[in-house]
């Protein structure tokens, strides 16, 4: 198996990526704890590429990174790349978003995920993006997931991300779509 360093120190994100890349022939490992990368890009793709490239250069291994967030139509795409920094906790982020939306009728939104894979020399070998459209509810529903999941409603499933089983969420989510389109190209990277 070929080692690929995941540009995160979060073991939960490592497990999530492993679930998407099962049977891919890649062994995923966490980046060194001391390696910190500031997300300075103005798009999800720019941040994913930046993180993958810097981790690959620092470790001398293949690297994979993702960046994702929520984009609300009525808020001109906010919180966007600042989704994780929209508050200190998930509940603060949700409260701020709901407050900014107020009684807005247009609740359309999307989760976007960009994934990048870098070669050991830091050059980007693959990029992918997934989008899941939905709506923002007026109040949280469900106990699963994390982040904005309790207020992100997918009309086709009549569930929030927080109400979905992990398998269902993985199959329709922005992250699931981004990784699914990468999967077929991963094997040729080793050739």
Which range has highest mean pLDDT (19-28, 85-94, 180-189)? 85-94
SS3 track for 109-124: EEEEEEEEEECCCCCE
Report how far Cα 57 is from the mean position of its chain's Cα atoms: 22
67 is catalytic: yes
Burial letters 136-154, b for 16+ CB under 10 A, else e: bbeebbbeebebbbbbbbb
Number of domains in the chain: 1
List 67, 90, 121, 185, catalytic entry: 67
Q: Token pair of 44, please?
A: 């999800």
Q: What is the CATH number of the domain that holds 132?
A: 3.90.950.10
Q: Is the peptide bond before 82 cis (omega within 30 degrees of 0)?
A: no
Question: What are 50-83's pLDDT values in tens digits?
Answer: 999 999 999 999 999 999 999 999 999 999 999 9
The confidence band for 23, taking pLDDT boundaries of 50, 70 and 90, is: confident
Average pLDDT over residues 97-118: 97
Which range of residues forms the domain containing residue 139?
A: 2-189
φ, ψ of residue 62 to 5 degrees: the values are -60, 150
């Amino acid at each position: 198996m070929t080692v690929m360093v995941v540009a995160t120190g979060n073991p939960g994100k490592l497990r999530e990526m492993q679930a998407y890349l099962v049977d891919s022939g890649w062994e995923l490992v966490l980046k060194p704890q001391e390696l910190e990368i500031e997300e300075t890009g103005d798009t999800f793709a720019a941040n994913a590429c930046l993180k993958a490239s810097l981790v690959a250069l620092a470790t001398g291994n293949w690297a994979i990174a993702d960046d994702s967030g929520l984009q609300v139509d009525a808020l001109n795409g906010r919180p966007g790349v600042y989704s994780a920094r929209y508050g200190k906790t998930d509940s603060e982020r949700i409260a701020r978003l709901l407050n900014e939306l107020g009684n807005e009728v247009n609740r359309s939104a999307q989760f976007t995920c960009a994934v990048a894979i870098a070669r050991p020399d830091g050059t980007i070998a693959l990029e992918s993006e997934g989008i899941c459209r939905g709506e923002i509810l007026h109040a949280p529903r469900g106990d699963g997931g994390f982040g904005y999941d309790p207020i992100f409603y997918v009309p086709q499933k009549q569930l929030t991300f927080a109400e979905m089983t992990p398998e269902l969420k993985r199959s329709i989510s922005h992250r699931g779509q981004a990784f699914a389109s990468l999967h077929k190209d991963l094997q040729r990277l080793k050739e």
